[in-house]
Amino acid sequence: MASELGRIFRISTFGESHGGAVGVVVDGCPPRLPLSVEEIQRDLDRRRPGQSRLTSARQESDRAEILSGVFEGRTLGTPIAILVRNEDARPSAYQDIKDLFRPSHADYTTEAKYGIRNWQGGGRASARETVGRVAAGAVARKLLQQVENVEVLGWVRQVHQLDAKIDPGAVTLADVESNPVRCPDQAAAAQMAEQIDAARRRGDSLGGVVECVARRVPPGLGEPVFDKLEADLARGLMSIPASKGFEIGSGFGGTQLTGSEHNDPFVPGDDGRPRTSSNHSGGVQGGISNGEDILVRVAFKPTATIRLPQQTVDRDGTPRTLEARGRHDPCVLPRAVPVVEAMVCLTLADHWLRQCAVDVLGRSGE
């Protein structure tokens, strides 16, 4: 089972949703990077359940423990192991449905592949696995801030059919964190909260879109052909549970423009390097970053676990009706924001280190 991501900045997550703990091992992080557990905890606190009535009622403090790789506040260059213990796991809640295949979950497909599965929640397919991603993403975020002053910021752009009005270049972290939906458009956020809460009361769920910007990314990250930056961003972001679509820049909307409308004209930049006067490319051209803001969007499906009765079958193929219990988000989007940010940070950190190798070889040949 593949649980690894990255070429140089590599992570490997571990743990199940109702097991003893979840976590991550980060390998390839450079030495002497200032890093504290508090910096990791900040991002984990944004992801944890129980934040409001709009999220899962599961009560997890998600306290990070750094087991290795950091000494006296700095990274050693050795593997960084981060552990988060599960405190409110309730595997018994799944006992009555352990032989049923929950609609739109990974129950059937996991059993079809491996012949065995952990029926206590979603196992490795659970969104609880993203704890390790967010912890590792905090390390990658610190590296990007330290070396290039890169800022990665996400927000909820759309819930169900309600699309917010947002200027990606102007959004701040304070704007995003000003409401439990994590939508910087305050009027839209209030309507989104009402829709999510109404779905929760009905026993239903909603999906939507998370948008994310990476600012001050240097030009030159990414490679042609198979390792294009947007391809690796798509790989990381589409690996998030419940993700169903990826766009960068103009995305599918760009298909409605002509070439003359869509092309990004070059203009002289204040720093002496070329800049573009528009950004339909989303900060990536030819698979390589061009120095403009990288703007991506990720579509998330409605949460699969709902209280409404659903038709399914059991292991014997007998038709059954499922009325799910447990504690689940009526909409994953508010807690998906830090996960999206983490995957963008991890991808950019890995490509930044890969570019460092290219630069070293280039200078050695001068």
- 260-312, pLDDT tens digit by residue? 999 999 999 988 899 999 999 999 999 999 999 999 999 999 999 899 999 99
Closest CA to 341 of 45, 141, 190: 141
Rounded to whole angstroms, the Cα distance separating 184 from 173 reads 9
DSSP H helices, the chain, are 37-47, 107-114, 130-148, 173-176, 186-202, 229-238, 259-262, 333-364
Residue that is written with structure tokens 């998030």 in the block: 240
The pLDDT score that the predictor gives to residue 26 is: 98
Structure tokens at 250: 């103009």
Segments in the chain below pLDDT 50: none
Domain ranges of the chain: 4-364
Q: What are phi and psi of 221, to 5 degrees?
A: -85, 135
Instruction: DSSP for 40-81, please give it.
Output: HHHHHHHH-S-SSTTS--------EEEEESEETTEE-SS-EE
The answer for residues whose C-beta is within 8 angstroms of residue 322's C-beta and 6 or more apart is 97, 100, 102, 103, 309, 310, 311, 312
Tens-place pLDDT, residues 104-128: 999 999 999 999 988 877 788 889 9
Q: Is 243 helix (H, G, I), strand (E, B) or coil?
A: strand
The pLDDT score that the predictor gives to residue 121 is: 76
The pLDDT score that the predictor gives to residue 89 is: 67
Rounded to whole angstroms, the Cα distance separating 184 from 154 reads 10
The pLDDT score that the predictor gives to residue 131 is: 96
Rounded to whole angstroms, the Cα distance separating 70 from 67 reads 8
Rounded to whole angstroms, the Cα distance separating 330 from 203 reads 8
Element (H, E) at 319: strand 319-322
Cα separations in angstroms, 37 against 327, 336, 344:
28, 21, 21
Q: What are phi and psi of 319, to 5 degrees?
A: -60, 135
CA distance between the termini of the chain: 44
Superfamily (CATH) of domain 4-364: Chorismate synthase AroC (3.60.150.10)
